[in-house]
């Protein structure tokens, strides 16, 4: 008889998105993403971080400052965009994106343009903001299915 407490595909891919978020240097927001094709193969992962070549220690990580240039916002590359750009697959057409936070409108555009057709998100803590509302509108109009991950209550502990 086969083992019974193996993790589901959804737990597996959301688990990898969650683990990827642990790589983030951002004190306030850690987001992870995992892109999967229709054969249940992972084609890319990403987390929020500064662009390649920027020294993390030289960049601002603050949310507020005298100028927007003193904050992280103009610089940080979001998890979804990193996952899309990190992919070595020739196409993301028809793929599913697992992400720990509902995508912002900038990432929504990249998701749509890359051909990703389904987004499974864990949290939607910015629900009601203009950015999230715009994302939802774009997904709806462009035929991208966005669905919230249903927590299973399973706990996974890793000894590292
Ligand atoms: Zn984003």
> Is the Cβ–Cβ distance between 119 and 96 less than 8 Å?
yes
Catalytic residue among 64, 80, 106, 147: 80
102 CA from centroid of ligand 1 (Å):
8
Contacts (Cβ under 8 Å, ≥6 apart) of 86: 44, 45, 46
Given the structure tokens 């299915």, which residue do they identify?
A: 145
> Is the Cβ–Cβ distance between 43 and 35 less than 8 Å?
yes
Please say if 80 is a catalytic residue: yes
Residues whose Cβ atom is located within 5 A of ion ligand 1 = 78, 104, 107
CA distance 24 to 26: 5
Assign 119 a pLDDT band (cuts: 50, 70, 90).
very high
CA distance 83 to 107: 10
Q: What is the pTM of this model?
A: 0.95
Give residue-wise pLDDT tens across range 29-74.
999 999 999 999 999 999 999 999 999 999 999 999 999 999 999 9
1 CA from centroid of ligand 1 (Å):
44
- Could you give the C-alpha distances from 19 to 24, 68, 76, 112, 156, in angstroms and in order? 10, 30, 19, 24, 11
Give residue-wise pLDDT tens across range 122-131.
999 999 999 9
> Is the Cβ–Cβ distance between 119 and 146 less than 8 Å?
yes
């Amino acid at each position: 008889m086969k083992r019974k407490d193996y993790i589901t595909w959804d737990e597996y891919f959301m688990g990898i998105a969650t683990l990827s978020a642990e790589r983030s240097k951002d004190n306030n927001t850690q987001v992870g993403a995992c892109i999967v094709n229709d054969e249940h193969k992972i084609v890319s992962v990403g987390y929020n971080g500064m662009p390649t070549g920027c020294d993390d220690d030289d960049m601002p990580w603050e949310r507020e400052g005298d100028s927007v240039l003193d904050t992280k916002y103009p610089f940080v590359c979001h998890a979804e965009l990193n996952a899309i750009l990190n992919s070595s697959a020739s196409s993301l057409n028809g793929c599913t994106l697992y992400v720990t936070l509902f995508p912002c409108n900038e990432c929504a555009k990249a998701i749509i343009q890359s051909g990703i057709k389904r987004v499974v998100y864990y949290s939607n803590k910015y629900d009601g903001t203009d950015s999230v509302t715009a994302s939802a509108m774009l997904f709806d109009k462009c035929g991208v299915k966005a669905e919230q991950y249903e927590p299973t209550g399973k706990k996974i502990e890793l000894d590292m």
